[in-house]
Amino acid sequence: MKKILNHPEAFADETIEGILLAHPHHLKRAPGTPRGLVRADAPVAGQVAIATGGGSGHIPVFLGYVGPGLLHGVSIGNVFSSPSVEAMVAVTKAIHAGTGVLYLYGNYGGDIMNFDMSAELCEAEGVEVKSVRVRDDVVSAPKSAAEKRRAVAGLFFAYKIAGAKAATGADLAAVTATAQRVVENTCSMGVALSPCTIPAVGKPTFTIGEDEMELGMGIHGEAGIERGRLKTADEIAQVMTERVLADLSFRSGDQVAVLVNGLGATPPEELYLLFRKAHQVLAGHGVQIQRVFIGEYATSMEMAGASISLLKLDAELLSLLDAPAYSPFLPQWRSAR
């Protein structure tokens, strides 16, 4: 796969430069690191601050979720690699408004280890830190080992809702609990049709036949977990929706928000084909679709593929999901009338 690049190893830094030139009223650097971005108005007085972080190559994940009504800061690693502890510490200090910091990020080994080191360092300096790890990929581990699951596009729900909760002025315990409730009620399943290339590596992350697909893709360029024959849009959507429904143990009458996410190269048209079938499947189970998000909410550069995520809603989650928020990296949304 060809790329529009300068020096492969400057990819992350030059991307950040471009972003700061494009959105100077929206983001600024965290003092002391080239790899941390925070809201232009950080620290935001009276709000618990939420930090995330992760590798480059997933926009709008991770930095695209920083903004009013969303998160407060982000540390940025190389493509698909964890950010450094230094960046995490710098971001934590730049956003902390005295009311504690929530680390809300994807359940990936490198990120966990580095965020844990950062939390130890920041707590030693008197910053209260809590951590919530998003782990929505149903295929990546059985429900009995849900704490091993990885994060995919379900990050969107956690970011949107935790950010809205923080914006209400809730305290760290409440923001953490809300984020954790989203994690426990979010489940995703994805499919990858083609790999991507890490610029500094220069070769695709995996190979896959023209008639194959991988169920359960990761957003870090990993291959999926079950390899199979490429199926139709209807078959794929049916498998994904049924598996997610079963995992969240839905009952007829339950209310959900649906996210159909594209990994990068998959066109919006194909996402709508998947939604069309998912809608039929959900209707068949008597599950009520309250909100719909279709587009690119978590990408893997030029990978082709998609995922379907469900969030089981309650009244508070729905109202937080509908709360205003802004980031130039996200699709538009507004609540249904």
Partner 1 sequence: MKAALTRDDALPLNQKLAADLEAANAAITALDAEVGDGDLGVTCRLGMKAALDLLPTLKEASLGDLILKAGLAFNSAGASTFGALVASAAMRAAKYTKDNALAAWDLPAVIGVLTSATQGIEQRGKAARGDKTLLDALWPAIETLEAAHKNGKDLAGALADAAAAAEAGAEATRPLRSKFGRAAWMQDRTVGVKDAGAAVAAMVLKSIAEYARM
Ligand X SMILES: Nc1ncnc2c1ncn2[C@@H]1O[C@H](COP(=O)(O)OP(=O)(O)O)[C@@H](O)[C@H]1O
Give the interface with partner 1 as residue ranges (CB under 8 A). Answer: 9, 77-87, 108-110, 113-114, 116-117, 137, 139-141, 148, 150, 198, 200-201, 203, 205-206, 216, 218, 220-223, 225
Nearer to partner 1, 107 or 178 (CB): 107
Point out the catalytic residue in the list 26, 72, 96, 220: 220
Copy the structure tokens of residue 260.
């159909």
Instruction: Report the distance separating Cα 55 and Cα 275, nearest Å.
Output: 28
Sign of dihedral through CA atoms 121, 122, 126, 132? negative
CA proximity to 309, closest of 64, 137, 107: 137
Give me the residue whose beta carbon is nearest to ligand X: 110
Q: Which x/- pattern over 88-117 shows residues binding ligand X (rule: CB under 6 A)? A: ---------------------xx-------
Instruction: Report the distance separating Cα 313 and Cα 232, nearest Å.
Output: 29
Point out the catalytic residue in the list 26, 58, 72, 96: 58
The yes-or-no answer on residue 220 being catalytic is yes
Q: Which residue has tokens 């999901």?
A: 321
Scan residues 143-182 and list those touching its own copies (CB under 8 A). none
Contacts of 133 (CB under 8 A, 6+ apart): 105, 106, 107, 112, 151, 183
Closest separation in Å from C-beta 155 to partner 1: 17
Instruction: Report the distance separating Cα 104 and Cα 118, nearest Å.
Output: 13
> Cis bond leading into 204, ω under 30°?
no
The yes-or-no answer on residue 58 being catalytic is yes
Asked whether the beta carbons of 224 and 232 are under 8 A apart, the reply is: no
Q: Is residue 236 near its own copies by the rule CB under 8 A?
A: yes
Q: Is residue 210 near its own copies by the rule CB under 8 A?
A: yes
Figure out which of the listed residues 177, 233, 318, 323 binds its own copies, where binding follows CB under 8 A: 233
Site residues (CB under 5 A) for Mg ion? Answer: 81
- Site of interaction with ligand X (CB under 6 A): 109-110
Which of the residues are catalytic?
58, 220
